[in-house]
Structure formats: structure tokens, C-alpha cells
Amino acid sequence: MIIIFIGVLLVIAIAVRLKGNHDKINKIKADSGISSVVNVNVAPVTERKTGHLLDLIGTLYPVKELDIAAQVQGQITSLPVELGQFLEKGKMVAVIDNTLKELSLQSAKINEDKLKRDLERFRNLYQGGSATEQKYEEARIACESAKIQVDQAKKMLEDYNTPQI
């Protein structure tokens, strides 16, 4: 019971002290002329140019950053993008020198045409009984292999022509 009585007296003493400090601060404000009212002047909004430049130093972080890895190696002949430019998905980023792949495709097409003519000759010879079935099959397989080489060369050239995001 005594502890409660001492606690109540302590709370009352703190409240009296705080009230006294509050009254003292208000009296000092009143004596010094400090008002709680602040006057504000308002001006109409106008556009003006300032003669000052604002130089800021900081670090910028991109919203999204991508590492682009090409499917093929080679020398970049054209880079039709600029640093910081926004790109859409599927946009070409670089052009890689594809001269050797174009020549490889032309060579594969020439070889395929030759082997098609050879296959036609062996077909005629086989049907006439002048060539063996084995020679005809070898010519057919060589012709199919040449077609596959043309398809591979086209795919490689396509990979060179489409380095994109």
C-alpha cells in the first residue's frame, strides 16, 4: 500500500514540474514577442530562366540490364544502337561479318547442284542397266548429304544475321 502511495505522489510531482516548465516557456515567448502565427507571401507562378547550372554527381542504376551473348563468334561490322538507348525485344543489336558463311552457303549450293545432276545421271544409267545399284545409292546419299550441308550453311548464316535481344 505504501508503494502505491509513493508511486502516486511521484506521478503528481512530475505533473506539477512539467506544468511549471510549460508555463515558464509560454511566459518567455510572450515576453520576447515570438508569435505562433507565421505570415506567408504568395506570388503567381511564372516561368523564368536562371543563370545557374546545376551539376550533380551520382550513380545511375538501370531498370533492367542484359548481358548479350552471340550464338556465333566474329568481328562486329555494325552496331546500330547507342549507349543508353531503350530497345524492344527482338531488336537487332549488332551485325557480325558473315562473308565466310555466305561463301560457304554458295559452295554448298554449287556442290548440291552438281550432286543432283550426278544422281540423275546414275538414275538413268541404273535404269538402263549400265550402273550398279550401289553406285546409284552412293549418289543418292551424297545428294542428301549435300542438301543437309546447304541447310546447315543457311542456319549458320541466319545465326550471323540475327544477333538480337
Partners of 76 in the β-ladder: 96
Q: What is the pLDDT of residues 74-131, one digit of tens each?
A: 788 888 888 778 777 777 777 778 888 888 999 999 999 999 999 999 899 888 888 8
The residue type found at 162 is T
Spell out the domain ranges in the chain.
1-31, 76-161
| pLDDT surpasses 80 at 73 | no
77 closest CA partner among 93, 66, 89, 91: 93
DSSP class of residue 92 equals B
- Which CATH number among 1.20.1250.20, 1.10.1040.10, 1.10.287.470, 3.40.190.80 corresponds to the domain 76-161? 1.10.287.470
Q: Which residues contact 132 (CB under 8 A, 6 or more apart)?
A: 126
Look up cell 560457304; give the residue.
104
Q: Please tell me the pTM assigned to this model.
A: 0.50
- In percent, how much of the chain has pLDDT > 70? 93
Question: What CA–CA distance (Å, rounded) separates 22 from 16?
Answer: 10
93 closest CA partner among 165, 146, 157: 165
pLDDT given for residue 34 in this prediction = 63
